Amino acid sequence: MKIFAIFGNPIKHSKSPIIHKLFANQLNIIQQYKKIYVPIDKFNNIINNFFKNGGYGANITIPFKKKAYNICDFLTDRGIKSGVVNTLKIIKNNKILGDNTDGIGLLKDLQKIKFIHKNSNILLLGAGGAAKGIIYSIINFGCKITIVNRTYKNSYNLLKFFNNKKNISIIKIEDIDNIINNKKINYDLIINATSSSIKGEVPKISSKIIHSNIFCYDLFYSINITPFLEWCLYHGAKKISDGIGMLIEQAAYSFFLWHGVMPNTELILKQFKKKYFF
């Protein structure tokens, strides 16, 4: 039986074992999948021991996606282009292959709920690992992304990582009011990639970015509406979604990397919501 795990800090909240159990049951695959809490300074030791002791694949969550990238012997194209990985697999000669399924998972979910098209103008809140992991798939699809972060230097570093591509730009958080007031930009979609919702907070950003036709998406997911999405509704947004669809889609791509078969994510999403969200 193949052994898998998700590694993170915190990790108690993770629904990944539930989702991967649903995948395995759907496709009649026998596997073990567990959560592993990792102290901040122990990631390399714990992940290496996991693979030495028979682990076959791993998912990586905050705050270890960059560290996971650094231990890989080989990377998929998505992993290389993203600069962080969330999925690991043991391959020939006990080498570690790294992939990033966050971006493609988000893109698939956005397409399914009709929040995105090839010319979408997107405002991305945040410039950390979560933001970094999704940018490549979104710009490769054809969208334009503007990054805004409370620390401008982090936005600039992210822009540099992606080689100042023409469809990525950055703005200072204090300049948003002027940009909106002067009608220089009208965003189609705003994505919250900050950790604010996990903390029960809302990003400190002008409410002027919200209009009745904007799509609002929070990478965080919850049984209850997230603070960010509640804030969006309060300021006039009509179309919102949390990240549960992305969670399931990215997990499916991880599952495919390990097993070579793709789960039916629409059925899994319905099962998951029915059992755990209602």
| Residues annotated catalytic, as ranges | 65
By the 8 A CB rule, do 41 and 94 touch? no
Helices (H), the chain: 16-26, 43-52, 65-71, 77-82, 102-112, 129-141, 152-161, 176-181, 227-234, 244-259, 265-276
Contacts of 40 (CB under 8 A, 6+ apart): 9, 63
- For 243, the 3-state DSSP assignment is coil
Sign of CA dihedral 262, 263, 266, 272: negative
Q: Residue 230 and residue 218: Cα distance in Å, rounded?
A: 11
Q: Residue 158 and residue 128: Cα distance in Å, rounded?
A: 8
Helices 16-26 and 244-259: crossing angle in degrees, nearest 10, is: 50
By the 8 A CB rule, do 123 and 207 touch? no
Contacts of 42 (CB under 8 A, 6+ apart): none
Structure tokens at 60: 């990586």
Q: What is the DSSP string of 61-117?
A: -TT-HHHHHHH-SEE-HHHHHHS--SEEEE-GGG-EEEE--HHHHHHHHHHHTT---
